[in-house]
Amino acid sequence: MKKQNTFIVAAAVTAAVIAAFWLLLAAPAYTGNEINMTRGVTAQSAIAYQLHMVILWICVVIGVIVFSAMFVSIVLHRKSRGQTPAQFTHSTKAEIIWTIIPVVILVVMAVPATKALVHMEVAPETEMTIKITGFQWRWKYEYVEDGIQFISSLDAASNAVRMLESDTNPETVPDYLLNVDKPLVLPADTKIKFLITADDVIHSWWVPALGWKRDAVPGFINEAWTEVKEPGVYRGQCAELCGKDHGFMPIVLNVLPKDEYRAWVREQTEGLAQQQADSERLWTREELMDLGEGVYAAQCATCHQADGQGLAPAFPALAGSVIANGPLTDNIDLVLHGREGTAMPAWGSMLSDADIAATLTYTRNAFGNETGDIIQPQTITRIKNG
Amino acid sequence: MSTESQTAVHDEHHDHKPSGFLNRWLFTTNHKDIGTLYLVFSLLMFFIGGSMAMVIRAELFMPGLQLVEPEFFNQMTTMHALIMVFGAVMPAWVGFANWMIPMMIGAPDMALPRMNNWSFWILPFAFTMLLSTLFMDSGGPAAGWTLYPPLSLQGGQSFAFVVFAVHMMGISSIMGSINVIATILNMRAPGMTLLKMPLFVWTWLITAFLLIAVMPVLAGAVTMLLTDHFFGTSFFNAAGGGDPVMFQHIFWFFGHPEVYIMILPAFGVVSEIIPTFSRKPLFGYTAMVYATASIAFLSFIVWAHHMFTVGMPLTGELFFMYATMLIAVPTGVKVFNWVSTMWRGSMTFETPMLFAIGFVVLFTIGGLSGLMLAIAAVDLQYHDTYFVVAHFHYVLVPGSIFALMAGTYYWLPKWTGQMYSEKWGKIHFWVSAISVNILFFPQHYLGLAGMPRRIPDYSPQFADFNMISSIGGFIFGASQLIFVGVIIHCVYKSKKAATGRVWEGAKGLEWTLPSPAPYHSFDTPPPIDSTTIAHVETSH
């Protein structure tokens, strides 16, 4: 009679514990929200997902056993049921068993975990290379073989709405905070090597659909690789705290079928020729001011602010600043090489000469600055070449 | 019985506390008064750190920035962590050590009473200095409590205050640890052999060694940051030949033992409470001691599992993955032994027991997610997401903090001589236990779905669970006011006197003293036998 009673309690408690696990781990999915890791679109992300599910299930089974035993005891072995306490203090046999069983479980887990890690970390022969440089708070992408390079920043719509003073509902912005002005375009079905580094502080390049993240560390070049099977747009974010706009540094991949990708590369290469021509011809003041205003808004305004007033104490004002109104060569030098120990990057390797010339012209003649300087792209080219 | 009457006679000429507020509190060398100072201080810090968490959860209540600028948000996450780790949890455990260790080993006081005073009184200055940075031009530290360079070096002049505050906290911790070790090794009553000590004393002995081993490492790391920032050195500056990743190795060599510093005394407290309310001796006492020591040893060789994404060699990743997985074995032994202690006991569920059971369940959940994080190949997805935030809050809040609350309810009658309100204690438990899960469980989903940690604003796809998490956070925060209410009521208003034994099943030397415990715990060494202590060495 008593034994049967115990069995019923044990069954009921175990059922309740399983129900609780279901409520925590499965039920929330019915709200329509994503609650689990993505399967992603690469072999690596599929492996990560499968391994994650295996370990999760092992943890669930362990949890159900331990919690069931505990709650059976809580239900049965209470003083209010007139229990008299047993006085056993140890059992060498039991203790050896529950040391060895976890060791066996861990070994069983370690085998697939090791295989997965080897697959992820050991890169195969790759067909092309992208260099990724993180800097506050953008990503620069360089196509090593094709000579294409550009900076990818948070898109203007998200950027406007994310401001503290903005009253716009973020839900109205498509892909709020997960959209950029220029996505990283990649070919599908191609083994791609990434070389990842940073210019200022540590960032971390993460697109969940690829199945991994890798830190971008100044002074180091980390390697990673991918091969995306399905063309599509995949989104991610910087994953390592990198300063005030860490949350506003998204990553967007646009994976194209191989032929579309080749067409895109052609288009970009033609753009390069145009850029070359731009830096060789003479520009008017209006052209420079127009271009400069746009570049300033996209690249400089996060720190120095749209009105050039900066954000004390870390980000100096340009309006009335000694540098923006001082000797031109010092100003060019600062913009080209950045300032160590601050968030000011070396723009010389990131923007075209025309962009830099235009931005300098703009900052030296806006926000009440009246130097009257007109800086030609040629000047920048000449200074860069020493 | 005879012990109690003897001590009572004793009290008449020995139990005089220093007169005057300054003499009693500022110049005190008494372990109980210093313990009280530590506990009150840590409770204050718990609320300051908690209010920062409320700012964080309020900003994350919905997408878009509504309340604070991102820079201030980063200061809040950084300060919340520094205050909670160094100001709330660690000093609270030192407070428990001060109050309980002399009483548990049959000593009159701590071994080094003047150093004891100093190690406490450093803390208010350290934290005033740390908090003052929030009011400086360059603001508080905003690079996360891990202070990773080069980002932490971008902070302004106030960074020097942070470094010196950390130095002072370290000095305080090291002095506290020396005191704990000296007390335990030298002041045990005759007959109290090491393997008869209560488990709380054991866990603190091991914790103290961890502290002495790693606090100087942290001091070295922040000193190098200081000279990099102000004196032109390049320890961590790649452009000057330094190595930013080196800081992470040094920091986590401190940081991983640090998390065990916060949890080992919790294991100790829970190992005292569960036997008391199960009316049954702790199962596998010796195994518990060895498990604690194993965890402490392993804590030194797992640090780089915090760094799987920095670009380590494959062999390094494999080593740190295997070592980390191994920790599950001694931790599992502990959980199994707690359940076995409850098995066939005669349980009652007063507030301390409720918090202890809550601890075992929720800490185990945090432990299991920790096991998942150990798997390096998947950690490349988990790392730096809300999954990690959920994991470490599960082991710290319903882990360490629940154990602190369990211990407070357990020993409060012994400290004050009065019973707390059981009804309000239970209300505090249930509201906290439910809200803490509403607060942290959805963060697992957020992390898995791709939300990075330490961001002030997020994509609307994460909105629902962030809102639920914030609501849980507000309830959890508010429910801690009940805790303060129960303590104040117990100390000043409670009319129900506590007996010496307090709990029917309580065993251990502290329960042989009257309640409130006399000012100089044991003037003469108490007898050590199975009637007075819980863990009597068993021979096979």
* DSSP string for residues in B357-385: HHHHHHHHHHHHHHHHHH-HHHHHHHTTB
**3-class SS shares of chain B: helix, strand, coil, % to 5:** 70, 0, 25
**CB distance B339–A33 less than 8 Å?**
no
Catalytic member of B25, B93, B145, B458? B145
What pLDDT does A280 receive?
Answer: 83
Interface test with A, best of B276, B307, B380 (most A CBs within 10 A): B380
Report the residue from A62, A88, A161 with minimal CB separation from B64: A161
Catalytic member of B258, B272, B350, B379? B258
The rounded percent of chain A whose pLDDT value lies above 90 is: 55
Which residue on chain A is closest to B328 by alpha carbon? A102
Q: Please tell me the distance in Å from A164's CA to the nearest CA on chain B.
A: 5
Report the residue from A52, A59, A204 with minimal CB separation from B384: A204
**CB distance B375–A78 less than 8 Å?**
no
What pLDDT does B540 receive?
Answer: 41
**CB distance B156–A313 less than 8 Å?**
yes
Q: Is B303 a catalytic residue?
A: no
Q: Please tell me the distance in Å from A344's CA to the nearest CA on chain B.
A: 11
What pLDDT does B14 receive?
Answer: 53
CA B80, B86, B89, B91 torsion-angle sign: negative
Quick: pLDDT tens for A36-71.
Answer: 999 999 999 999 999 999 999 999 999 999 999 999
Catalytic member of B271, B299, B435, B512? B271
CA distances from B49 to A251, A293, B42 (A): 33, 43, 10
What pLDDT does B538 receive?
Answer: 54
What pLDDT does B247 receive?
Answer: 96
Q: Is B454 a catalytic residue?
A: no
Report the residue from B317, B339, B457 with minimal CB separation from A66: B339
Catalytic member of B172, B207, B292, B369? B172
Average pLDDT over residues A145-165: 89
**Who's near B300: CB < 8 A, 6+ residues apart?**
B213, B253, B256, B257
Q: Is B393 a catalytic residue?
A: no
- Its pTM stands at 0.90
Q: Is B71 a catalytic residue?
A: no
**CB distance A90–B286 less than 8 Å?**
yes
Q: Please tell me the distance in Å from B95's CA to the nearest CA on chain A.
A: 30
**CB distance B449–A35 less than 8 Å?**
yes
Q: Are B74 and B143 spatial neighbours (Cβ–Cβ below 8 Å)? A: yes
Q: Which amino acid is at A330?
A: D
Give me the residues of chain B with pLDDT under 50, please. 1-13, 539-540
Q: Is B234 a catalytic residue?
A: no
Q: Is B252 a catalytic residue?
A: no
DSSP B400-465: IIHHHHHHHHHHHHHHHSB---HHHHHHHHHHHHHHHHHHHHHHHHHHHTTPBSS-SS--GGGHHH
Pairing of strands A148-152, A138-143: antiparallel
Residue found under tokens 């506590």:
B498
Q: Are A297 and A384 spatial neighbours (Cβ–Cβ below 8 Å)? A: no
Pairing of strands A232-238, A203-207: antiparallel
What pLDDT does B2 receive?
Answer: 42
**Who's near A327: CB < 8 A, 6+ residues apart?**
none
Q: Is B256 a catalytic residue?
A: yes
Report the residue from B333, B349, B457 with minimal CB separation from A99: B333
Quick: pLDDT tens for A202-221.
Answer: 999 999 999 999 999 999 99
Query: What is the C-alpha to C-alpha distance for residues B337 and B345, in angstroms, rounded to an integer?
Result: 13
Report the residue from A70, A110, A164 with minimal CB separation from B69: A164
Sheet containing A128-135: order of strands:
A148-152, A138-143, A128-135, A192-198, A222-226
Higher pLDDT, B167 or A30: B167
Indicate whether A1 pLDDT > 60.
Answer: no
**CB distance B452–A247 less than 8 Å?**
yes
Residues of B in contact with A163 (CB under 8 A): 65
Residues of B in contact with A246 (CB under 8 A): 70, 74, 454-455
Instruction: Measure the N-to-C terminal CA separation of chain A; round to a whole number of Å.
Output: 96
Q: Are B211 and B174 spatial neighbours (Cβ–Cβ below 8 Å)? A: yes
Query: What is the C-alpha to C-alpha distance for residues A381 and A348, in angstroms, rounded to an integer?
Result: 10
Q: Is B14 a catalytic residue?
A: no
Residues of A in contact with B139 (CB under 8 A): 313
DSSP B150-165: TGGGGS-TTHHHHHHH
Q: Is B249 a catalytic residue?
A: no
Quick: pLDDT tens for B20-74.
Answer: 888 888 999 999 999 999 999 999 999 999 999 999 999 999 999 999 999 999 9
**CB distance B333–A90 less than 8 Å?**
no
Count of helices and strands (H, E) across chain B:
18, 0
Tokens representing B505 are 């099943």
What pLDDT does A315 receive?
Answer: 83
Q: Please tell me the distance in Å from A214's CA to the nearest CA on chain B.
A: 5
What pLDDT does B532 receive?
Answer: 81
Residue B212's nearest CA partner among B168, B164, B165, B176 is: B176
Q: Residues for chain A: how many in total? A: 386
**CB distance A243–B154 less than 8 Å?**
yes
Q: Please tell me the distance in Å from A42's CA to the nearest CA on chain B.
A: 13
Compute the count of residue pairs across chains A and B with CB atoms less than 8 Å apart: 316
Q: Is B15 a catalytic residue?
A: no
Residue found under tokens 């860069």:
A384
What pLDDT does B11 receive?
Answer: 45
**CB distance A70–B285 less than 8 Å?**
no
Report the residue from B69, B344, B385 with minimal CB separation from A86: B344
Beta-carbon count within 10 A of A82 CB: 7
Q: Which amino acid is at B59?
A: E
**CB distance A248–B448 less than 8 Å?**
no
Q: Please tell me the distance in Å from B192's CA to the nearest CA on chain A.
A: 19
Indicate whether A365 pLDDT > 50.
Answer: yes
Q: Is B80 a catalytic residue?
A: yes
Q: Is B258 a catalytic residue?
A: yes
Average pLDDT over residues A150-175: 89
What pLDDT does B41 receive?
Answer: 97
Q: Please tell me the distance in Å from B275's CA to the nearest CA on chain A.
A: 10
Report the residue from B156, B383, B457 with minimal CB separation from A213: B383
Query: What is the C-alpha to C-alpha distance for residues B374 and B444, in angstroms, rounded to an integer?
Result: 16
Q: Residues for chain B: how many in total? A: 540
DSSP B23-56: IIIIS---HHHHHHHHHHHHHHHHHHHHHHHHHH
